Structure 1
Amino acid sequence: MDTRTRIQEVALELFTEHGYEKTSLREVAERLGVTKAALYYHFKSKEEIVASIVEDRIQVMDELIRWAETQPPGVETRRVLLSRYAEDLFGRNRFPVMRFFEQNQTVLKSLSAGLQMRERLIRFAHLLAGPGQSAENEVRAALAIFAVHSTFFAMRPEVPAHERHAVALKVAFELLDRIAEVEAESEKVDAAHR
C-alpha cells in the first residue's frame, strides 16, 4: 500500500473515532508513526485528505458514467451499472469511507469535491433511470442508489458485509426492475393509442 493511501486510511480511522473537527494532523502523523513534516509532504491539511478521498471516488464515478454512456439503455445495463457502482465504491472494505461520509455530511458540503460528487450522483441516477423517464422512475433510480448506500447504516451491525451487500443489491434491483415494468406498460399504452 502506498503512503498516500495509508494516510487516507489512518485519517479516516481517526476522523471516525474522534470526529473530523477533533482530530489533528499531529494525531494522524503519530498514528502513522511519521513526523508531521513527512505527512505535510503528501497533505497540507485535513481538508486536503478528505478532498483526495472524494476525488478518488469521483474518478471511479466518472469511469462508470463514461461506460454507461456507451451502453444500450435497458434492464441489463442498469443492473451491471449498479453492481459496478456497489462494488467499486462500497465493496473491498470501503466501509470506513462510507462511515466517514455518513458522520461528516457538513464537512463534505463545504468542499468543492463534495459538490462534484453530488453532481456525479445526479448524473448517475439519470443514467440508471434512462432517457426520457418520468419523475417516478427518476426517484426509483435515486432510491436504488441509496439502497446500495444503506449497506453501512440501515442494517444491523451484526449482519455480515457480504450479506448486507447482497440484500442492498436485491432491493436496488427490485427498484430498477420496476422502471422496466413501467416502461413496458407505457409502451403498451402508446401502442394501443396508435
Structure 2
Amino acid sequence: MTRPASDTRHRIQTVARELFTQKGVQRTSLQDIADRLGITKPALYYHFPSREDLVRSILQPLLDEGERFVTEHERRRGKARATPRELLEGFFDFHYKHRADLVLVVSELTTLADLGSIDMLLGWRERLTRLVFGPRPTLEQATRAVIAFGGLQDCCLQFPDALHDELRRATVDGAMAALGL
C-alpha cells in the first residue's frame, strides 16, 4: 500500500526539521534527508525541487499565521482593539505553538534572510509596537517593545520544560514590565 503524497511531504518536512535543527540548514543535504527517510533523492525532488523550497514549506505556516495575527490586530478599531496584555498573550501563544520552527528560525537567520523572511519577522515587531504605543513611538518606547516582543519569543525557546500556563504568565508579566505598562 502506498502512502498519499501529502503524508510523504509531511514525513519529509518532519525529518528535514529534525536534521536542520541538529546540523543546520546549510550542512544538511537533500541526500541526508532522503537517506534518513529511506527514499531516493529523486523521490524527494518530486515533492521539493530544492532545499530552499523545503525550508520555505516548513516555515510558511508560521509566517502566514504570524502575518494573520498582526494584520487582524491592526484592523481592530475602538473597543474591539486588544489591550497590550491581550496582544502579548496572543503573541506568546503564537510563538509557543511554533516553538519547533522557531528554533530553526533563530539558528538559521542567514537562510531566513536569503528567503526574504527576516524582514517580515522584524516588521511584525514594529507593527505591534505601533499597536501598543501609537503610530510614532519614541525611541524609548520602541526599544522597550523590542525587548518585550523579542524576549517573549526567546522565552518560548529558552524554557522548553516549563508548563504553558506558568511560562505564559511569567513571560507576559515580564513583557508588560519591559513595556513600562
Q: Which amino acid aligns with 2:89?
A: S
Please give the root-mean-square deviation of Cα atoms over the aligned residues, in Å. 2.7
Tell me the CA shift for residue 58 of structure 1. 2.1
Tell me what 2:172 maps to: 169
Are 1:44 and 2:46 an aligned pair?
no
Pair 1:106 & 2:143 matched: no
Deviation of 1:48 after TM superposition, in Å, equals 1.4
For the Cα contact (< 8 Å) 2:30–2:41, is it kept in 1?
yes
**Alpha-carbon distance between aligned partners in 2 of 1:133 and 1:55, rounded to the nearest angstrom:** 30
Contact 1:13 1:96 in 2 (8 A): no
In the alignment, structure 2 segments of 5+ residues that lack a partner are: 1-5
Structure 1 partner of 2:140 = 136
Structure 2 counterpart of 1:84: 90
Q: TM-score, normalised by structure 2?
A: 0.78
TM superposition shift of 1:105: 1.8
Count of residue pairs brought into register by the alignment: 174
User: Are the equivalent residues in 2 in contact too, given 1:73–1:130 (CA < 8 A)?
Assistant: no
1:122 Cα shift? Answer: 2.6
Structure 1 unmatched runs, 5+: 180-194
Query: Do the aligned partners of residues 123 and 17 (structure 1) sit closer, same or farther apart at CA in structure 2, a change above 3 Å counting?
Result: same
The structure number with the bigger radius of gyration is: 1
Cα separation, 2, equivalents of 1:100 and 1:166: 25
Measured after TM superposition, the shift of residue 53 of structure 1 is 3.0
Q: Give the equivalent residue in structure 1 for 2:131.
A: 127
Q: Deviations over 1:29-69 (max 9, x none)?
A: 23234332332222112211222333322211221122112
TM-score by length of 1: 0.74
Calculate percent identity across the aligned residue pairs: 31
Of 62, 65, 68, 2:67 maps to 62
